A and B are shown apart, each in its own frame.
Chain A
């Protein structure tokens, strides 16, 4: 309810702001002198006339760059975006040696089409900035003040506008290597880009919601059953990986913290070693340890405990349990570190007064330690849960999602998480369309869980709780 109100009010606020912007542009044009008016077409003209050389040159250069980009590059791709290309590639066999004549490249058209849309939006933004400056120039001059010079502008980049200096590069990086690829892949989910439609040899095109239908359709060819199986295991895995580790880590931390236990530092260091050693080394060693001819099986056979080897990695149930256990080995040290710090922060007098009231150890744990832990670690547990939903390394280095089965489509196995399945679809099957759909599903699951849990977290609901 609240959210809806927030959304509708922010939409209406957006419209008001848009209206105000248009009105301001209008008055700037009407009241401005001829230099301001000309600046609407030739950006930076007003600034140049008023001797703001640096700003003027920058705006002018941006405009020229934009026009050059659109004419030489952007416009062509933008036009083809609705169809993603129509000219097929073909092999020209008229000569002695057959030559492949490439037609449209759907991949490039989609990628550069999206880029061009962003460039246009950015240009409108810059243009609006340019117009706003015309207004500011007039007002400053009317007030009889001096306009900031180029030198002052540069200096402000280290002071009032220092955030621009700091944030420009990170934002450009995030745009090129995160935002652009994400939007591209979201678009891929609505196309038929897969092994049969690989650019540049073949075209791919928009197919609407077909891939999503495929994901939810239960049947021999549909992904529905597989998707639900993988999703269920992903959630179970994330639950155990987070909470089993949390409780065991807390237990270990309490044991080490206990009065009368010596060598506290040694125990902690031994556990922390597992964080330091690169995961791929320890995980691959574990994988080999539990292999059919691995150390565990051979010793159990030698001691006569089992008759034939235990198929740790080829039985769905065994491998799932084993993965969770190995993850305990990996995760408990982190949780131990976390909880140790917090245990030391719990005020001792809370326990003192509980003891006077005759509470036993278990009661104190349930009424004081645990609520305190959840209060402080709530946000961390949430991020660690969503992190575990996407915990690629543990699964992939141990089982690569195996064992696979004929019951599951898309090459998925019984220990696959959504994220490893996505990886396999991309790398092994080049089924990009379904990989993109699954990526969107992962986002949806993460976002929903984050939103719901964030609202019921004690530290969010009641900030003063333990202060």
Chain B
């Protein structure tokens, strides 16, 4: 009797598991479909099948036409790619320095105006970023940091306000026991030393998370990047340039070229992300749990 019930239970379990497997496989297909499509289209032969949109999924002829074109004399793709890479590297380094500094000061320091500053920044964060776009554009223009100078301009604007994103990092710093600081202080270490030699090594995951998210953001930055470059195509980043291809130039057959460019953008970012995934998950979940 008992055994029968157990067996029916396990039979029930097996059907549920099979259903779940089916769902997971279907989901994997849906989630991977755009990427597979992107890669396939990027290898479509430009010479025989042209570069527009076509009514079939798998190209009739595979070739590297689109990739060779991207690196040929006609296209500025390498320039755009380099622009984005420069922005991403600078932003990753400088943002992390700013955020870690702010997070440490707010987590460990107890000074006059601390609460007021945190509240003010919280309120400022509720204003939509694009509200200030024209004003920022004007400020940058005063320093010659638009159009031809858009790259340093973008870095400056991103880094300048990056301190406001300290929340996740501070939450993590708060979990490091204060007894550690106090022990070091008794040994005569200064605040700066405590931060560099005790807190930072212990919070490596969150520092990597901060740098990783900062590095990834510029690859998607369309809005402000296009506004600051203002039609000066040498200052585009990949997002702006490729978006323009898709929106305005499809009739000239830029679709497969967009796909090839997209693949080239996605590969390094994806590899980096997958390598550091562990830290990313820790940052995302840790930040949520600690608010």
Give the interface of A toward B (CB within 8 A): 107, 111, 158-160, 162-163, 165-167, 169-171, 173-174, 176-182, 184-185, 252, 255-256, 258, 260-261, 267, 269-282, 284-289, 291, 293-295, 298-299, 302, 329, 333-334, 337-338, 340-342, 376-377, 379-380, 386, 390, 392-393, 396-397, 418-419, 422-423, 426-427, 432, 435-436, 439, 442-443, 446-447, 450, 459
Contact = CB atoms under 8 A, between A and B. Distances in A.
A293 B38 CA distance: 16
Interface of B: 13, 16-17, 20-21, 23-24, 27-28, 30-32, 34-35, 37-38, 53, 55-57, 98, 101-102, 104-105, 109, 111, 114, 117, 121, 123-124, 126-136, 138-139, 156-157, 159-164, 190-193, 195, 216, 219-220, 222-223, 227, 239, 242-243, 246, 255, 258-259, 262, 265-266, 269-270, 273-274, 277, 280-281, 284-285, 287-289, 291
**Which applies to chain B's interface (DSSP): helix, strand, loop or mixed?**
helix
Contacts, number: 246
Contact of B21 (A181, A261, A337, A392): A261
Nearest to A441: B128
Contacts of A281: 38, 242, 262, 265-266
A170 to B, nearest CB: 3
Which of B135, B156, B273, B289 is the most central at the interface, judged by chain A CB atoms within 10 Å of its CB?
Answer: B135
Nearest to B261: A281
Q: Determine which residue in B133, B281, B288, B289 has the highest number of CB atoms from chain A within 10 A of its CB, and name it.
A: B288
Contacts of A258: 16-17, 20
Contacts of A174: 121, 124, 160-161, 163-164
Contacts of B192: 158-159, 162, 165
A255 B24 contact: yes
B132 A280 contact: no
Given A272-B273, A276-B216, A439-B131, 19 more contacts: A160-B191, A167-B117, A167-B163, A174-B161, A182-B131, A182-B132, A267-B27, A274-B31, A276-B270, A276-B273, A277-B35, A278-B265, A284-B246, A286-B34, A299-B55, A329-B31, A337-B285, A380-B287, A442-B127
A280 B242 contact: yes
23 contacts: A158-B192, A166-B104, A167-B101, A178-B160, A181-B132, A185-B135, A269-B274, A271-B31, A272-B273, A273-B270, A277-B270, A278-B220, A280-B243, A281-B242, A342-B289, A376-B289, A380-B291, A386-B126, A390-B129, A393-B223, A432-B134, A439-B128, A443-B128
Contact of A284 (B17, B102, B242): B242
B55 to A, nearest CB: 4
Nearest to A291: B53
A337 B105 contact: no
A287 B262 CA distance: 14
A443 B126 contact: yes
Contacts of B32: 270, 273
A278 B135 CA distance: 28
B227 A390 contact: no
A275 B273 contact: yes
A288 B246 contact: yes
A35 B72 CA distance: 73
Contacts of B35: 273, 277, 282
A187 B161 CA distance: 21
Listed from nearest, the 5 A-B pairs whose CB atoms lie closest are: A170-B163, A173-B160, A439-B131, A181-B132, A276-B273
Given A173-B161, A260-B13, A291-B53, A179 B124 contact: yes
A272 B28 CA distance: 11
A274 B269 CA distance: 11
Contacts of A442: 127-128, 131
Contacts of A432: 134
Given A280-B220, A294-B53, A167 B126 contact: no
Contact of B222 (A277, A380, A397, A422): A397
Contact of B160 (A177, A284, A334, A422): A177
